[in-house]
Amino acid sequence: MSNPFRVANSAQLRANLAPAVNQPLTAIFEEMYRELRPREPIPPLAVQLFPFASVKNTIRLRDGKLLVRLSDVLEGAPENVLRAIAHILLAKMYRKPVAREHSTRYRKHVSSQYISSKAHLFRQIRGRKRVSSPAGRHFDLEEIFEKLNREFFFGLLGRPRLGWSATAARNRLGHYDPAHNAIIISKIFDNPRVPQAAVEYIVYHEMLHLKHPVKVRGSRRCVHSSEFQAEERQFPKLQ
């Protein structure tokens, strides 16, 4: 008698958990491949809807097979949007120019209120936000936040999660994550040689993102509105 509780090996588990290949999407990618590379044979294609934590789409070539994963946030998107995604991914894979009509159509769709709200919810559910203690070796982000809140926001901003980045990043000095309501500052600033005004400015900038959420205008996201920039110029010692 077979054992109904037989434990599958790791490869079997991965196969069981992997999203199924989406045949309609695969057909769209095959069609767009023919448009982009009419003289080349279509390689084996596997297109899946994948539960990414954000709106993310990937394509890779492995053993002669194209493997595509589209964010399941895009499930149910209009066919012309799916065709645009296929064109963009294939063009990037084969270093072809991306047609403006496709990039505009895609940006407009993912910037829509419905997709933005859906992606925000998925990120809250699926995403992980590791936030370290706000008390660094030299600066305490909670103390800085409360000081700036009193001086510039009448104490009205609700305090988000505050923390230092895991590494001393130079390419991302700070960011506000609305999905997890967190302000993260690069650990590179937690240094006795850094003036406190510099740390305060970075925190102040991220607090403005908390006050002025990203706005969508047409197919474009407005991250730093005119109101945002006007308030940023009010920071002392900005120059």
Report the 10 Å Cβ neighbour count for 45.
20
Query: Looking at the structure, do residues 198 and 225 belong to the same domain, yes or no?
Result: yes
Structure tokens at 114: 């419905």
d(Cα 159, Cα 7) in Å, to the nearest integer? Answer: 47
Query: Looking at the structure, do residues 168 and 115 belong to the same domain, yes or no?
Result: no
Using DSSP bridges, classify how beta strands 57-62 and 161-164 pair: parallel, antiparallel or unpaired.
unpaired
Where among 67, 91, 126 does a domain terminate? 126
55 is in which domain, residue-wise?
A: 14-126
Structure tokens at 195: 């003036």
207 touches 145 (CB < 8 A): yes
CATH of the domain at 80: 3.30.2010
Residue 70: burial class (beta carbons within 10 Å; 0-12, 13-18, 19+): buried
Query: Looking at the structure, do residues 41 and 102 belong to the same domain, yes or no?
Result: yes
- Using DSSP, how many helices (H) and how many strands (E) does the chain show? 8, 8
Q: In a structure prediction context, what are the per-residue pLDDT tens digits for the chain, which is 239 residues long?
A: 334 334 444 444 344 445 678 899 999 999 999 999 999 999 999 999 998 877 889 999 999 999 999 998 898 899 999 999 999 999 999 999 999 999 999 999 988 878 887 877 777 666 666 778 899 999 999 999 999 999 999 999 999 989 998 888 888 899 888 877 889 999 999 999 999 999 999 999 999 999 998 776 655 667 888 899 999 999 988 88
**pLDDT attached to residue 144:** 96
Query: Looking at the structure, do residues 88 and 42 belong to the same domain, yes or no?
Result: yes
**pLDDT attached to residue 10:** 44
User: Is the pTM for the entire model greater than 0.85?
Assistant: no
237: DSSP letter: T
Assign 136 to helix, strand or coil.
coil
**pLDDT attached to residue 124:** 66
Is position 3 within any domain? Answer: no
